[in-house]
Amino acid sequence: MNKAMIFAAGLGTRLRPLTDNMPKALVPVGGRPLLYIVMEKLVSAGFTDIVVNVHHFAGMIEDYLSSVKFDGVKISISDERDLLRDTGGAIRHAMPLLGSGNFLTHNVDIISNLDLRRFVSMMRKDALATLAVSERKTSRYLLFDDDMRLRGWTNLATGEVRSPYPDIDAASCRKLAFSGIQILSHEVFRIFDEKGFGEKFSIIDFYLKVAAEYPVYGAVPDGLELTDVGKLQTLASAGDFILNGKLEGPSF
């Protein structure tokens, strides 16, 4: 697998006022833009065909990418200036650029020590998708059975449970947080059309509708550490994460 997509189109509202003048993807952490940090990690793991979607300050990202060179790496733009499509819609829109093989997607605001090569090797042959997950504390969790197959989603703060299984017992499921990094089979494009998904939708919403028919799995890396640079309070800790050399680390 050599194809990856970076979700870089978001408005970055939680990073205001920084994102009043620049896209979230170009917010600097440890002296380098988030987008460069993620791209460098992908390239180091052997990805040579990278797609970046753009919407908010799209021109600034395009200009930046035109100045970035990685030997032997193709960088393509999936233009969403007309509509911010959310993660599922972004993948669907980028189909001509992602081709017919399996591919990885990575949120631009996630910095982690995940061993991407090892993660790719963990995708099961029958998987529609494999999600990197962890036990980090949050209010919203994905629900998995003993085989790590996705069964649903819950919001602990509200008690809401969503699942394609009407009789799901959320209390008996393993609760894990999504890392923002995943591997998808090219079969998702066929199923998007088959199930009538349109231009704008969340990839998690898609999984929650089809997971009873198509296997979606979670994978838990030992020692996974990550920081979500989605809000101003996490910028300093993200810089420390990089300075402490935590961009590489755990296996499975």
**pLDDT tens across the length of the chain (252 residues):** 899 999 999 988 887 888 899 999 999 888 889 999 999 999 999 999 999 999 999 999 999 999 998 999 999 999 999 999 999 999 999 999 998 899 999 999 999 999 999 999 999 999 999 999 999 888 999 999 999 999 999 999 999 999 999 999 999 999 999 999 999 999 999 999 999 999 999 999 999 999 999 999 999 988 888 888 866 777 666 666 665 655 554 333
Query: Diameter of the chain by CA atoms?
Result: 53
- Residue extents of the structural domains in the chain: 3-243
Tell me how far the alpha carbon of residue 75 is from its chain's centroid: 18
Strand partners, 48: none
Rounded CA-CA distance 93/10 in Å is 15
Does this model's pTM top 0.75? My answer is yes
Looking at the domain covering 3-243, what would its CATH class be? alpha beta
Q: What is the pLDDT of residues 238-249, one digit of tens each?
A: 666 665 655 554
Rounded CA-CA distance 77/94 in Å is 9
Copy the structure tokens of residue 159.
Answer: 């008690």
Tell me how far the alpha carbon of residue 193 is from its chain's centroid: 21
